[in-house]
Amino acid sequence: MYSSERIVITGIGIASPNGNSLGEFRENLLNGVSGVERYDIRYVGETLAGVCHFDPRKYQKRKEIRNGTRAASVAIYCANEAVLDSGLDWDGVDRTRVGVYVGITEHGNVETENEVYELSKFDYDTRYWSHYHNPRTVANNPAGEVTINMGVTGPHYTIGAACAAGNLGCIQGFQQLILGEVDVALVGGVSESIHTFGIFAGFNSQGALAAHDEPTKASRPFDMSRNGIVIAEGGAMYVLERLSDARARGATIIAEIAGFANNSDASDMVLPNAERQSQCMRMAIQRAGLEPKDIDIVSTHATGTKAGDIQECEAIRAVFDASCTRTYYNNTKSFIGHAMGAAGALELAGNIPAFADGVVHPTINIDELDPECALPNLVINKPVNAGSVDVILNNSFGMVGINSVLIVKRFQS
**Catalytic site includes residue 338:** yes
Among 107, 156, 212, 338, the one annotated catalytic: 338
User: Contact 276/265 with Cβ under 8 angstroms?
Assistant: yes
User: Contact 151/95 with Cβ under 8 angstroms?
Assistant: yes
Among 301, 313, 324, 373, the one annotated catalytic: 301
The Cα 188–Cα 297 span in angstroms is 20
Sequence-distant (6+) residues with CB within 8 A of 215 are 34, 36, 37, 38, 48
Q: Which residues pair with 14 in a beta bridge?
A: 236
Among 78, 107, 156, 163, the one annotated catalytic: 163
**Catalytic site includes residue 163:** yes
Strands (E) located in 69-141: 98-104
**Catalytic site includes residue 361:** no
User: Contact 276/34 with Cβ under 8 angstroms?
Assistant: no
User: Contact 78/13 with Cβ under 8 angstroms?
Assistant: yes
Using alpha carbons, select from 220, 228, 230 the residue that is nearest to residue 369: 220
Sequence-distant (6+) residues with CB within 8 A of 137 are 107, 108, 111, 112
Distance of CA 67 to CAs 72, 238, 240, 260, Å?
Answer: 11, 26, 29, 37
Q: Which long-range contacts (CB under 8 A, 24 or more apart) does 357-360 make?
A: 358/385, 358/386, 358/387, 358/388, 358/389, 359/30, 359/383, 359/384, 359/385, 359/386, 360/296, 360/297, 360/328, 360/330, 360/384, 360/385, 360/386, 360/389
DSSP string, 313-364: HHHHHHHS-TT-TT-EEE-SHHHH-B-GGGHHHHHHHHHTTHHHH-EE--B-
The Cα 48–Cα 39 span in angstroms is 5
Catalytic residues: 163, 301, 338
